[in-house]
Amino acid sequence: PVTDGSRELHSLCAQLEFLLQFDLKEKRSFFGQRKDYWDFLCQGLARCRQEHEGIRFVTSLDKLKTPVGRGRAFLRYCLVHRQLAESLQLCLLDPESLREWYYARSPFLSPQRRAEILGSLYELDGVTFRLAL
């Protein structure tokens, strides 16, 4: 199993975060806080009309104060529970929402790149992650 001490884990998480932040439009909350990929994921999963356990878990963690911290915790939760590909795929279903959150260079706006990314993420479902959540 992959644990917190794995160098590959840190590289994977950094690449996932880079991918989710690449060409992300700058948005601000009502109170002026910068929104991040966490907000994109929350909105995308909320559209599915069912509460995502990962979102519920992360929002219950009082120590997490920033969208980036919540996003990182969500990625780890999804890796442990083998839900990363499925969760991201649900967020990528609505092209209008994608254009609202991402500029044109984002790989998520290219059907071919999106399929490649999701295919790679679905392969991670076969890996056991034992991470501290």
Tens digit of pLDDT for each residue in 69-95? Answer: 999 999 999 999 999 999 999 999 999
Count of domains observed in the chain: 1
Token digits for 42? 């929350």
Residues 25-65 have pLDDT tens digits of 998 877 777 889 999 999 999 988 778 999 999 999 999 99
Spatial contact of 27 and 39, defined as CB atoms under 8 Å apart = yes
The two three-digit tokens of residue 49, written as one number: 């009309």
Q: pTM of whole model > 0.85?
A: yes
- Residue 17 belongs to what domain range? 7-126
Assign residue 81 the CATH number of its domain: 1.20.58.900
HEC per residue, 35-84: CCHHHHHHHHHHCCCCCCHHHHHHHCCCCCCCHHHHHHHHHHHHHHCCCH
Residue 115: what are its φ and ψ, rounded to 5°?
-65, -40
> Is 16 a domain residue?
yes
